[in-house]
Structure formats: structure tokens, C-alpha cells
Structure 1
Amino acid sequence: MGYRRTAEEIEEIRATLRDVQFVGGESLSVDFLTRPEIVRAILPRELEPGDEPRLTAQVSRWRSNCVGDFAASAIYVSARHEGVAGDYVLTMFMDNDIPLLFGRDLYGEPKKIGSSSLHRNDGHMTGVLERRGNRLIEIEADLGEDRGPTAVLGRNFNVTYRLAPDGSALVGSPTLMMAEFDQRTTVFRKGPATLRLLGTVHDPLDELEILESRDAVYVETGMRASCVPVATMDAGDFLPLALGRSDFWPALVTATLPA
């Protein structure tokens, strides 16, 4: 019965989650610098800012061995935990619910539904994120020649937590998670880019002030992913950031009951 997994199905699930693979990926990203006080405000207290106040805007698409095909966008913040460098995932958007539930429930990624698209005309490339009819990320890049294959181990910091039904507190303590991505890149291209971040009351990307935008990076890549808990966090301190991961519910009122 599908709603009660058999022992054999549970073992299949475990085998898949022990060897998570994202395949045939294409990613267009731009690093930019912002004000240090913005970085400190959007990072959990348990994370230290990275060597510079760097954020990354990314638009990508993938295949996988666990969640099907999907397109995604994200904003990352350079950070450290106990000397280990990585990127805190500030916000992330999937084009369907399967990768959304996987990343949010298992890794603590702050995912929402959004439409991401990549288009390339020779060396010119665009990446766009839209959500609920609003553009949030626009990248335009002119890419140089392929610089050949590379290998890199990437790290992301995320948070798992449970919000009380009335939004007044977190239930229990949040957990800081660290995901690692063993990445093998077959194509690597860079070039000058323009980046625009726009916003709504639900997704205020426009509050991330761009002081300096760097070259775009385009890769074709695949990677294996794993994730482990690394620290228990302060619930009261993280509550404002937890609520910032959700839409602003007071702005979604369409009707009310009579007084």
C-alpha cells in the first residue's frame, strides 16, 4: 500500500537518500558585495560572515536521481561556522513541489515555488526568476571561452525548525544543517554581467544592496549531495529569520469573517 511503505520500499528510499545525485546541471550565477551590516542582519547568530560581505544570485536547472527534473534560483550569503567556510541559503525557489519538499524537509532549505529560466545565444546568456507574476532576479551575461573541467566541494548552511501554529515562537530548538556538494564541472565560462534584484513584500530581494557586481559564472555540472546537523540554535534569536523565510501572511488577506 503506497501510504504505508513496505520494508523493501523503505530500503530503496534509504539507498536513494544515501547517494543523492544532481545531474546535467546548468547554472548561471553572479557574486556581488553588499554592506557588512546587511550580511550580519540576515545571518543567524550561530554563523559568522565570510571573509567579505559577498552574496551570490543563481539561476539553474537540473536533472536528478531523486526529485526528477527541475529549475531553481537562490540567493546565497558567504558565511562560516566554527572556521568552516560555506554559504548560508537566504532564499531559494523551485519550479515544482517535489524538489521543494525534498530540500525543505530534509536539508532545511528555505524553498518557495518560483519559475526560473535560462536562455543562451552563443556567448550571451540570461537567467530570470519570476514568482507570482513578479520578476525577482535578472542576470545578463556575455560569456568567454570554456576554461575546462574543474572539481570543487561546496558547502551550504541551512536550518530545520518547527514554527508554532500561531507564529509566536519556534517549537523546540532549531538545528543548523550543513550540506556538502561534491561537484564535477565539465564546462566553466566567465564574463561581464549585469544583475538586477527586485522585490515584493513576500520576497524583498531588492533590500540586498548591490555595491559591486562581479563577472558571471556559467557551469555545466553534476554533483553528489549529503547533509548533516552541526549545531543546536537559539530559538528566540532565530524566530525573526524563520518568519522572514515565509510569505508575509498579513498581506495575503482575501476575505474575513463578519465581526
Structure 2
Amino acid sequence: MKTEDVRQHVTTPLAGPAYPPMVPRFTDREYLNIVYRTDPAALRAAVPEPLRVDEPLVRFEVMKMGDVTGYGPYTEAGQAIPVSFEGERGEYLHAMYLDNFPATASGREVSAYPKVIGSPALYADSGALVGTLDHGRLRVATATMGYKHHELERHEAEEQIGVPAFMLKTVPGYDGSPRVQELVRTRITDVAVKGAWTGPARFQLFQHVLAPLADLPVLEVVSASHILTDLTLSGAEPVHDYLKGTAS
């Protein structure tokens, strides 16, 4: 294989890439969002500078991807933290767990999503919407919400899921030290909310050394939402270079 042919490939293995070279479109992406209050000191310890934490809040999300171009259906769960960067409000993506390897590899390599393999689920059970996350055979998180109790305004739903997202991208060099270490920013585009609801909710986290979501403990459930939407993920752009100590 010639050098120019190698350069046409975006990932390995060359004979069967881990994911396709395309921008995925999400159809019937279903969210369960639980916003909860947590320990301020634990939150500050988890969020990297120069991001700023204004309130000690965390959003736990479970997302059931009904149809995704290039990847197929899958489910994802994780934590997002409301932050600000140079006056812009957004969310820092703290942890993401999903059951699809191509989406995991693409999210980490092409962008900076903190994705690892896990076993999340989202389903209705006897009048409740249930979101769970397991790591291996152990439960890590359980969220329940009253199923479609109250309509949520579409613009409010768009605001919840459409804020800018900040992520930390670290690529190690061959000596083990960081070769790339950047804060990056991305945003959801082409959002079409098909339905949105709110209602009462409960949320539990369980200690696990390999999925330490409980390090940001649940002190109070603040709000909950259930959203069905179509959307596209835009590309990521660097906004701060930790190796240079400057904004990009």
C-alpha cells in the first residue's frame, strides 16, 4: 500500500476500519435527563480549569439511539456538568458509557468524548421511565421518572440538549507523556424535538471503582425530562491547549 493510500484511511485496522468516515445523523434519539445537586468540593475537583463551575449541579443522561447512520442503534449513559468558559455557558462531559464499539472508538479518536464500554438501558416499566447503567454485572446507576406526566415546552427541551459541550482530549505519546492535551468544544445541530415531557423522578448511584459516578453524590434531584429528537453532532474545535497553557 502506497503512502497516499495510507493517508486516505481515518483509523485502523486499514482492512476493516473501526468506524466509517462520516458525520452521524441521529434519528429518534430518546433522552432521560436527571439534574441533581451534588457536593461542591467534589465537583470542583472533577472539572478541569479553565472551565468554571457556578452551581453544584450534574446532569445524568441516558440516551437510547433509535437509528444512527454508520453505527446502528445503541444506548449511552453518562454525566454532564454545567460550566462556563470565557463567559459562555455549556456543559463539561465528565463520563460516558455505551454498548457500541464503533461509536466508542469514533467518539474518542475523531472528537474527545470520554467514552468507554458499559451496559446502559432505557425503557418503560409499569408507569415509569427507567434508565440504568451497569458495569459488567454490577449496577452503577438507576433513574426513574413518571412516564410522560407533563408536557415540556419544545424550546426548553432544545435548550437542555443543545448547549455547547466541552471535553478534555488527551492523546498519549509513545513515552507515556501527553502528545495532545486540549480542551475542545462541540455542539448539537439540526435539532428537531418530536416530544418532550417532565415529571417526578428519583435517582440512585452505586460505588464502582471503574465507573466512579458516585464520586459526585446525589444530594437532591432538581429536575427531570424525557425528550425524543432528531439531531446531528457537529465537529469539535480546540479552545485551550494545556501543553502550551494558552487558548487555541
> Could you state the TM-score of these two structures normalised by the residue count of structure 1?
0.78
Q: Does the C-alpha gap of structure 1 residues 6 and 211 become closer, same or farther in structure 2, counting only changes over 3 Å?
A: closer
Residue from 214, 219, 223 that aligns with 2:231: 223
Question: 2:62 matched to 1:55?
Answer: no
Residue from 163, 185, 188 that aligns with 1:181: 188
The equivalent of 2:152 in structure 1 is: 147
The code of the aligned residue for 2:56 comes to: P
Q: Does the 8 Å contact 1:161/1:174 carry over to 2?
A: yes
The equivalent of 2:138 in structure 1 is: 134
What are the superposed Cα offsets for residues 235-254 of structure 1, whole Å, 9 maximum, x if unpaired? Answer: 599xxxxxxxxxxxxxxxxx
Question: Pairwise mapping of residues 1-259 of structure 1 onto structure 2 (< 5 A)?
Answer: 16-17=22-23, 20-49=24-53, 51-62=54-65, 63-121=67-125, 123-143=127-147, 144-147=149-152, 149-150=154-155, 151-152=158-159, 153-164=162-173, 167=176, 169-171=177-179, 173-182=180-189, 183-235=191-243
Q: Does the 8 Å contact 2:184/2:240 carry over to 1?
A: no
Pairwise CA distance, 1:132:
1.2
Pairwise CA distance, 1:227:
2.5
Pairwise CA distance, 1:187:
0.9
Q: Does the C-alpha gap of structure 1 residues 136 and 165 become closer, same or farther in structure 2, counting only changes over 3 Å?
A: farther
Aligned length: 227
CA distance in 2, matches of 1:35, 1:162: 30
CA distance in 1, matches of 2:193, 2:6: 36
Secondary structure at the aligned position of 2:76 is classed as strand
Pairwise CA distance, 1:164:
4.4
What are the superposed Cα offsets for residues 128-173 of structure 1, whole Å, 9 maximum, x if unpaired? Answer: 1111111111001113133354444322111222124575x323x4
Q: Does the 8 Å contact 1:186/1:220 carry over to 2?
A: yes
- Supply the RMSD in Å over aligned alpha carbons: 2.7
Q: Does the C-alpha gap of structure 1 residues 217 and 137 become closer, same or farther in structure 2, counting only changes over 3 Å?
A: same
Q: Does the 8 Å contact 1:107/1:159 carry over to 2?
A: no
Secondary structure at the aligned position of 2:61 is classed as strand
Runs (5+) with no aligned partner, structure 2: 11-19
> Could you state the TM-score of these two structures normalised by the residue count of structure 2?
0.82
Structure with greater proportional helix content: 1
Deviates more, 1:90-99 or 1:173-182: 173-182
The equivalent of 2:14 in structure 1 is: none
What are the superposed Cα offsets for residues 107-143 of structure 1, whole Å, 9 maximum, x if unpaired? Answer: 2111111111111147411111111111111001113
Secondary structure at the aligned position of 2:151 is classed as coil
Secondary structure at the aligned position of 2:172 is classed as coil
CA distance in 2, matches of 1:202, 1:122: 31
CA distance in 1, matches of 2:244, 2:127: 48
CA distance in 2, matches of 1:93, 1:236: 30
Runs (5+) with no aligned partner, structure 1: 238-259
Q: Does the 8 Å contact 1:148/1:186 carry over to 2?
A: no
Q: Does the 8 Å contact 1:177/1:227 carry over to 2?
A: no
Q: Does the 8 Å contact 1:46/1:233 carry over to 2?
A: no
CA distance in 2, matches of 1:170, 1:133: 33
Q: Does the 8 Å contact 2:89/2:163 carry over to 1?
A: no
